Amino acid sequence: RFQIQRGKTDPTSYKSLGDCFRTIFQREGLLGFYKGILPPVLAETPKRAVKFFTFEQYKKVLGYASLPPGLAFAVAGLGSGLTEAVVVNPFEVVKVTLQTNQNAFTEQPSSFAQAQQIIKTGGLGSQGLNKGLTATLGRHGVFNMVYFGFYFNVKNILPVNKDPNLEFLRKFGIGLVSGTIASIINIPFDVAKSRIQGPQPVPGEIKYRTCFKTMATVYKEEGFLALYKGLLPKIMRLGPG
């Protein structure tokens, strides 16, 4: 919701995270917070499987290239993120379309009906179910590159604790920092993805079409910080995750 806003003059503008929660609850009810829940639930298992399986495969392949371990982890993470994005993007298109619908939960179409509508009007390509694929590639590629590169390198530097509780906290802390840093670095791609996949400012006119052009438009019209909209809820979700 934050990422599709086009400045304070936007009629859907939220003043803060708390204001966003209150407004959604008042206008759309408690179930408004769970719009678009089915696509990520359906995508989560194949997404995680692809993410970690391909990371291990890319890491093995890169082992033959005699790269420094730190660089190998980062490049393998980039490869796994790009592969993961191809699997996830159709689910993201449906999810964003549902989440940006401000009607009550009971008034909006189901995930499957929404997917059928997207395919009917835009097909399976860049105007339909794979809209915003380049931005999704950037989002997942950069996130996984930073996350895996940072996590495994730092984990190998910090000594292992024999106490299982302290060892859990060590890994959790490294993961939290890794996820937070990765979220901060990749969020411009996330904003571009939301603008491309979400509702356009003028119905029937496509303003946000490609990843880097969308970033440039957001920067030009709304300033540098607009590329970091929604950073707090993103960190709250992906840091602990």
Q: What is the 3-state secondary structure (H, E, C) of 114-150?
A: HHHHHHHHHCCCCCCCCCCHHHHHHHHHHHHHHHHHH
Q: Which of 124, 100, 102, 97 is nearest to 113 (CA)?
A: 97
Distances (CA, A) of 194 to 71, 159, 197, 209: 30, 40, 5, 11
**CA 62 to mean position of chain CA atoms:** 26
pLDDT per residue as tens digits for the range 84-104: 999 999 999 999 998 888 777
Q: Is the pLDDT of residue 193 over 90?
A: yes
| For range 40-61, the mean pLDDT | 89
Instruction: Select the CATH number that applies to the domain covering 17-239 from these four: 1.50.40.10, 1.10.10.10, 1.10.3720.10, 3.40.50.1370.
Output: 1.50.40.10
| For range 111-123, the mean pLDDT | 92
The pLDDT of residue 12 is 65
The pLDDT of residue 9 is 60
Q: Is the pLDDT of residue 192 over 70?
A: yes
Count of beta carbons in the 10 Å neighbourhood of residue 212: 13
Between CA 96 and CA 201 the distance in angstroms is: 15
Q: How confident is the model at residue 7 (pLDDT cuts 50, 70, 90)?
A: low
Q: Is the pLDDT of residue 11 over 70?
A: no
Query: Percent of the chain, pLDDT > 70?
Result: 97
The pLDDT of residue 8 is 62
More confident call, 107 vs 25: 25
**Least confident interval from 103-107, 119-123, 136-140, 208-212:** 103-107
Between CA 174 and CA 156 the distance in angstroms is: 11
Mean pLDDT estimate for the chain: 89
Q: Which of 124, 117, 136, 119 is nearest to 43 (CA)?
A: 136
**Least confident interval from 98-107, 115-124, 177-186:** 98-107
